[in-house]
Amino acid sequence: MPEVKMTVNGKPASGQIEGRTLLVEFLRENLGLTGTHVGCDTSQCGACVVHVDGRAVKACTMFAAEAEGAEVKTIEGMAEADGTLHPIQQAFQDHHGLQCGFCTPGMVMSAAALLAESPTPSEAEVRDYLEGNLCRCTGYHNIVKAILAASGQDVSRIAAE
Amino acid sequence: MPKDGGIGASTKRREDIRFLTGNGNYTDDINLRGQAYVHFLRSDVAHGRLNKVDTGDAEGMPGVLRIFTGKDFEGVGGLPCGWQVTDRFGEVMQEPGHPVLAQGKVRHVGDPIAAVVAETYAQARDAAEAIVLDIEELPAVVDMKAALKEGAPKVHDELKSNLCYDWGFVEENKAAVDEAFAKAAHVTTLELVNQRLVANPMEPRVAVGDFNRSTGDSTLYTTSQNPHVIRLLMGAFVLGIPEHKLRVVAPDVGGGFGSKIFHYAEEAFCTFAAKALNRPVKWTCSRSEAFMTDAHGRDHVTKIELALDKDNNFIAIRTDTHANMGAYLSTFAPSVPTWLHGTLMAGNYKTPLIYVNVKAVFTNTVPVDAYRGAGRPEATFQLERVIDKAARELGVDPIALRRQNFITEFPYATPVAVEYDTGDYHATMDKLEEIADFKGFAARRKASEAKGRLRGLGINCYIEACGIAPSNLVGQLGARAGLYESATVRVNATGGLVVMTGSHSHGQGHETSFAQVVAEMIGIDASMVEIVHGDTANTPMGMGTYGSRSIAVGGSAMVRATEKIINKAKRIAAHLMEASEADIELKDGQFSVAGTDKSVAWGDVTLAAYVPHNYPLAEVEPGLEETAFYDPSNFTYPAGAYACEVEVDPETGRVTIERFAAADDFGNIINPMIVSGQVHGGIGQGIGQALLESCVYDENGQLQTGSYMDYAMPRADDVPFYRVDHSCQTPCTHNPLGVKGCGEAGAIGSPPAVVNAVIDALQSVGKNVTHIDMPLSPSRVWQAMQG
């Protein structure tokens, strides 16, 4: 089996893989980074979103071999080493942007990619960007609110709680 | 002022930290040493005779450990049904067997035929492709009414027909109801479909079976809302494992919405195969597999009639429903269209006479069972749609018609066997009128018209029966289980405590809200309280989480156990302060003697309980740990009023949700932030049902919506921000917290509001459209507008 090497959350990572091994399988099974989730098999749900060389990617839609030499960032790499949450993670907690938590890693990674592209997005822009991330718990209300808040915008006018 | 802790505070969730940092422990994150993997070969036909399953070639494939077929399960019990309905004629329902792996016949697309266990998933999948099947395809029945026709193909050859039961409720009232209709001044009739849905929690199901040969103990890790129920059903009815030799663990579970209540074949298989192979066996469901194996929801075809007198008072309701059971009876399937549906047909209104007929039907489709709301959304939808239709026929305001018929005196015994303890339906409607800004609607409609859009306003009320349920009552109705809940409170010597609850949290935030309650009762910081759930090895026998029952039933058990703790702690404190137990008061974590300045801290008492040097050992046992089981005396009855404003594009029929408001009465509230989140999620699913979602089979029983490419899940840009309010509070009178439950309200209350709004929009331009079946897709709306 061929070997693949990449940098994951700032650390070198490698493993022997079959050609058909998906990036998400490599992260979860080989590296034990189980924060990246698999919620579908048609690249629709976005629970597996990670960053590859700074771009949001569905890790179920990319072979691990394609990430050879890449810089990969997963949800495990978002908080500070001392446990301080990333501002997007903190906003999700502050605004109850998660319930069961299964879609959450993908939501946070997508939100980070959005805010990197567009630091103060409109509500419509946030909703449009989340087209590829499904959540079944929140009705999206508090996810959208949390992302707007993480971008530094005033969300106090949005219906309370 | 918002509180900063305890009951009523919007405390941030403690479980969020692990979920936000990728440190959750979901079942698929569990990998055991030596684990093997199973892939199920499933039927790709809806109905067929299984002549031969040839595993010869597959067995020699790389990595294959063993291939199981139905033959391996001949001596094993089938998946049991937990509710037996008795029909109109006093006969019990037809109850077919449900084998773990198909035996003799396959009855729906997705029915498991063989299970390949191999060293890796890929090897198991590869080998499954080498299994040769000889299936004689039989005609399938998909449509319920066709399934009941004479000569229709039978899903189960051994049954008399495809009719599971023909249920009448209340049968004794049937003649009186018919008589009321005969003399009614006005009758409104509506025929509708409450379409089949798929629950779709974002985490697909997973099962990991494990067996310890040295102790003979089996363990199942599974994505369940109720691990004790799985332990009982699988242990006692399927595999014959006594409960003390079987542990079921449901760790972090990524949503359930009902679909993870039920005991599934894959759970039994992994437990069975782990023992057979003496290796852990893991199954991870793909989403495509979930669409054809998770129990589906709804799927009712209904005719409802509402009779009114000359003053527009409701005098009778008559309904006729066909309810799809699918190919087998899922765990609680028979209860959904009957006791969880018929008993809610009174809604918020004082209709004196009601008759509900339900025919449950077997078809060659995936089994149907409870999905968020379970029976209550089906009841609410038909009732609130027919009332809206009646108001339009009579030319009266739909809100005024509802208000005129509201129940206003409590307790209120409905003609459908339940007694509402409290409620104030005018108050929630008043609140709705305020938060939805009805006064501004006319201006908003004008603005929509100016850009070529039609605008409609739809409202509805709902009531639900939650806090499921009094065991003696449900026993009479056919439940084969009790529906109490349990809690053990274990106080440690240094004052911290652990609550082990039979409830299960899969998104509801129990670890935060349950801790708020106990912390407030004792007067300590919530950080001293830990909530443990989801493992039969360390929680008392509990019935789990569904039916908006956790805080109402599980919370009540926890309160009772905490009261026992406090009572015992007071006895210890009395001893320490040489005072009478009757004089001891507990406030802010401090025990004091009334009328004196003597006090001891909570921690002094907990330490004394475990270091009983100065202790009344003759009268009080050492230690501080108590268990309580709580069996509710009634259901709880959350209720509310919802409003939706839509825009319809007359060119395309596309509907957009412009505003949505929900005024709910949940009784007392522990954590308003979490409660709002529950309502938001329910509304999201309700809008999904109203506009987008539908599980579709073709006439041959092929599943047309087998992935997210075909099944339209609501996305962030399909919904607006919601305005929710739960300040109207009539506390429940029969549980210690006065709580009613909030988990399902949004999904129950929102679909009729959306449909009523679209009808309002179309009628505002003179279209004579009185009903469109969900989902209100652009093509359906556009078609309706052409009429």
pLDDT profile of chain B (787 residues), mean per 10? 82 98 98 98 98 97 98 95 97 98 98 98 97 98 98 98 97 97 98 98 98 98 98 97 98 98 98 98 98 98 98 98 98 98 98 98 98 98 98 98 98 97 98 97 98 98 95 94 96 98 96 98 97 98 95 98 98 98 97 97 98 96 98 98 98 98 98 98 98 98 98 98 98 98 97 98 96 98 94
Q: How far apart are CA A39 and CA B288, in angstroms?
A: 10
Contact B776, B655 (CB under 8 A): yes
Report the residue of chain A nearest B675, measured CA to CA. Answer: A161
Question: A1 in contact with B at a CB cutoff of 8 Å?
Answer: no
B-chain residues near A38 (CB < 8 A): 28, 204, 284
CATH code of residue B506? 3.30.365.10
A124 to chain B, closest Cα gap in Å: 7
A110 to chain B, closest Cα gap in Å: 13
Same domain, A105 and A142: yes
Contact B514, B545 (CB under 8 A): no
Q: Which of B605, B630, B655 is the last residue of a domain?
A: B630
CA nearest to B249, candidates B504, B571, B4, B478: B504
* A155 is a domain residue: no
Name the burial class of residue B51, with classes exposed (0-12), middle (13-18) and buried (19+) by CB atoms within 10 angstroms of its CB: exposed
Does this model's pTM top 0.90? yes
Q: Which of A77, A112, A129 is the last residue of a domain?
A: A77
Span A72-98, pLDDT tens digits: 999 999 999 999 999 999 999 999 999
Interface list for B 555-614 with A (CB within 8 A): none
Same domain, B621 and B638: no
* A73 is a domain residue: yes
Q: Which domain holds residue B224?
A: 27-138+202-255+260-291
pLDDT at B291: 98
The contacts of residue A51 (CB under 8 Å, 6+ apart) are A57, A71, A72, A73, A74, A109, A112, A113
Same domain, A70 and A41: yes
Report the residue of chain B nearest A109, measured CA to CA. Answer: B20
CA nearest to B754, candidates B663, B678, B655: B655
Mutation pick from A78, A96, A136 vs chain B, by most beta carbons of B within 10 Å, is A136
Q: How far apart are CA B672 and CA B670, in angstroms?
A: 6
B458 to chain A, closest Cα gap in Å: 20
Same domain, B96 and B223: yes
| Buried b or exposed e, range B648-669, using 16+ CB within 10 angstroms | bbbeebbbebbbbbbbbbbbbb
CA A124 to chain centre: 20
Domain count, chain A: 2
pLDDT at B4: 74
pLDDT at A160: 53
Same domain, A9 and A60: yes
pLDDT at B345: 98
Same domain, A17 and A60: yes
Provide the mean pLDDT of chain B.
97
CA nearest to B743, candidates B425, B491, B513: B513
**Residue tagged 């039994």 (tokens):** B268
Interface list for A 53-72 with B (CB within 8 A): none
Give the total residue count for chain A: 161
Q: How far apart are CA B278 and CA B203, in angstroms?
A: 28
* B210 is a domain residue: yes
B722 to chain A, closest Cα gap in Å: 7
* B167 is a domain residue: no
pLDDT at A141: 98
Question: B13 in contact with A at a CB cutoff of 8 Å?
Answer: yes
Same domain, A98 and A71: no
Same domain, B709 and B725: yes
Name the burial class of residue B434, with classes exposed (0-12), middle (13-18) and buried (19+) by CB atoms within 10 angstroms of its CB: middle
CA dihedral in degrees (B112, B113, B116, B121; nearest 10)? -40
The contacts of residue B362 (CB under 8 Å, 6+ apart) are B94, B96, B141, B147, B155, B156, B159, B162, B163, B164, B325, B326, B327
| Buried b or exposed e, range B330-345, using 16+ CB within 10 angstroms | bbbbbbbbbbbbbbbb
Q: How far apart are CA B442 and CA B267, in angstroms?
A: 55
Predicted-complex ipTM score: 0.98
Whether B287 sits inside 8 A of A40 (CB atoms) is yes
Q: Which of B630, B651, B673 is the last residue of a domain?
A: B630
Contact A88, A134 (CB under 8 A): no
Give the total residue count for chain B: 787
Provide the mean pLDDT of chain A.
96
Q: Which of A58, A77, A96 is the last residue of a domain?
A: A77
Phi, psi of B760 (to 5 degrees): -60, -40
Same domain, A9 and A73: yes
Q: How far apart are CA B726 and CA B192, in angstroms?
A: 31
* A99 is a domain residue: yes
* A110 is a domain residue: yes
CA nearest to B397, candidates B456, B444, B459, B347: B459
Same domain, B661 and B769: yes
* B4 is a domain residue: no
B-chain residues near A111 (CB < 8 A): none
Same domain, B490 and B459: no
Q: Would the pLDDT of A110 be above 90?
A: yes
**What residue ranges in A9-152 does DSSP mark as E strands?**
11-16, 49-52, 55-58, 71-73
Contact A133, A56 (CB under 8 A): no
Q: Which domain holds residue A21?
A: 3-77
Q: Which helix (H) or strand (E) segment is B113 a member of?
A: strand B112-118
CATH code of residue A129? 1.10.150.120
Instruction: List, as one string, the DSSP characters of B138-187.
Output: -----SHHHHTSTTPPPSSTTSSSSEEEEEEETGGGHHHHHHHHHT-SEE
Whether B508 sits inside 8 A of A45 (CB atoms) is no
Q: Which helix (H) or strand (E) segment is A117 a member of?
A: helix A104-117
Q: How far apart are CA B286 and CA B341, in angstroms?
A: 32
Angstrom CA distances, B289 to B38, B107, B295, B366, B494, stand at 13, 16, 12, 11, 49
CA nearest to B426, candidates B637, B638, B636, B640: B640
B730 to chain A, closest Cα gap in Å: 21
Q: What is the bridge-based pairing of β-strands B723-725 and B655-665?
A: parallel
Span B99-121, pLDDT tens digits: 999 999 999 999 999 999 999 99
Q: Would the pLDDT of A161 be above 60?
A: no
Q: Which two tokens stand for residue A161?
A: 């709680």
CATH code of residue A51? 3.10.20.30
Q: Which two tokens stand for residue B226?
A: 């109720």
Q: How far apart are CA B115 and CA B99, in angstroms?
A: 13
Sheet holding B132-137, edge to edge: B105-106, B48-54, B132-137
* A92 is a domain residue: yes
B-chain residues near A141 (CB < 8 A): 677, 680, 684, 719, 721-722
Count CB-CB contacts under 10 A for residue B575.
20
Same domain, A71 and A7: yes
Same domain, B227 and B305: no
**Residue tagged 């530094």 (tokens):** A152
Question: B11 in contact with A at a CB cutoff of 8 Å?
Answer: no
Same domain, B670 and B566: no
- pLDDT-derived band at A1, boundaries 50, 70, 90: confident
Same domain, A41 and A62: yes
Q: Which of B291, B312, B342 is the last residue of a domain?
A: B291
Q: Which of A77, A106, A137 is the last residue of a domain?
A: A77
* A109 is a domain residue: yes
Sheet holding B639-648, edge to edge: B454-463, B639-648, B655-665, B723-725
Count CB-CB contacts under 10 A for residue B195.
18
Radius of gyration of chain B (CA): 27
Same domain, A71 and A98: no
A144 to chain B, closest Cα gap in Å: 8
Same domain, B207 and B229: yes
Same domain, B301 and B403: yes
* A160 is a domain residue: no
**Residue tagged 């930290």 (tokens):** B17
Q: How far apart are CA B404 and CA B412, in angstroms?
A: 16
Domain count, chain B: 3
CATH code of residue B251? 3.90.1170.50
Question: A153 in contact with B at a CB cutoff of 8 Å?
Answer: no
Same domain, B768 and B651: yes
Q: How far apart are CA B780 and CA B691, in angstroms?
A: 10
Same domain, A92 and A38: no
Same domain, B456 and B552: no
* A159 is a domain residue: no
CA atoms within 13 A on the CB side of B276: 16
Angstrom CA distances, A149 to A111, A119, A158, B20, B444, stand at 11, 11, 11, 16, 28
Same domain, B285 and B306: no
Q: Which helix (H) or strand (E) segment is A18 a member of?
A: none
Contact B290, B370 (CB under 8 A): no
Instruction: List, as one string, the DSSP characters of B694-744.
Output: ---B-TT--BS--STTTS----GGG----EEE-------SSSTT-B---SS
Q: Which helix (H) or strand (E) segment is B263 a member of?
A: none
